[in-house]
Amino acid sequence: MRRAVPSVCWAPRECGAKQFEYMYYVYILLSLKDKNFYVGYTANLKERYKQHCLGKVESTKNRRPLKLMCYEAYNIKAEATGREKFLKSSDGKKDLRKRLLESLNNIWRGDRVVECAALETR
Question: Looking at the predicted structure, is the pLDDT value of residue 19 above 80?
Answer: no
* Mean pLDDT along residues 96-111: 82
Question: Looking at the predicted structure, is the pLDDT value of residue 17 above 60?
Answer: no
Give the distance from CA 106 to its chain's centroid. Answer: 19
* Mean pLDDT along residues 111-116: 56
Report yes or no: 48 and 42 within 8 Å, Cβ to Cβ. Answer: yes
The three-class DSSP label of residue 95 is helix
For residue 49, CA distances in Å to 19, 43, 102 come to 24, 11, 22
Structural domains of the chain sorted by starting position, each given as residue range(s) with its CATH number in brackets: 20-120 (3.40.1440)
Q: Per residue in 51-84, pLDDT tens?
A: 999 999 999 999 999 999 999 999 999 999 999 9
pLDDT band at 111 (very low <50, low <70, confident <90, very high): low
- Closest to 73 (Cα-Cα) out of 29, 18, 23, 22: 23
Q: CB-based contacts of 81: which residues, under 8 Å, 6+ apart?
A: 24, 41
Give the distance from CA 76 to its chain's centroid. Answer: 15
* Mean pLDDT along residues 7-34: 71
pLDDT band at 14 (very low <50, low <70, confident <90, very high): low
Say which DSSP state 86 is in: H
pLDDT confidence of residue 117: 53
